[in-house]
Structure 1
Amino acid sequence: MIKKINDEYVVSFWGVLNECCDFTEKRDLNLNNEVSIKEISENILIEAYIDLPYDIKIKTKDSLQYAINYWSDNKLERLYYCSIPMYSLPTNITVREFYIKVWNYIFNKDYYMD
């Protein structure tokens, strides 16, 4: 089975962070804090992911998995900021570590390695 991998699935995944419904409640989150990473993962990102059509869910998950495994940190950072999120990336961990933390919260530690 051929997997459909595309940058745009990754950008769209992060894009919900600029569309957050309750901006006033979520604006004080700081991604240098593990609790905030968990908050955006479990209360923003996963809700948007669940609402995706099945085929887009698979393509998004496959693209995120591929991104974590093969793309450079520079590309991961660029794709995150292409979505114009309202939160800056954490500065106390690498962008790849951030992607992995979010992956673990959303996909229940489903193994991200190919």
Structure 2
Amino acid sequence: MNNNFPPWICIFEQRLAMLEKKQCELKDHLDKQINEKLNHQLAGQIDSLPQNITYKIQELHVNELKGTLNIGLTAPATEQMRDIIEKLKTDQAHISENISTQQSTDN
């Protein structure tokens, strides 16, 4: 350090160096914790991978190629559809009321 500076600046520089060192230590500690958590989660996901995958293949005869053929696609709103079906199952009184109201307005 330079002795030409007032003592409070020297103390300030020492504290700043100490804080920078602690910051690096904390960063290293946090990086280590994050890596451990990620490795633990990854190990859990690897253990949950399916052991056997069975493909069901059916023979398809095509005489004419027209239109669109979608193979192996599922609806993106599967969970939403399940929620709607459960709601419909649990709210039977409300459904029958709506149906009767709708039928009377149709006549």
Q: Same fold (TM over 0.5)?
A: no
Report the TM-score range of the alignment, normalised by the length of the smaller protein.
under 0.3
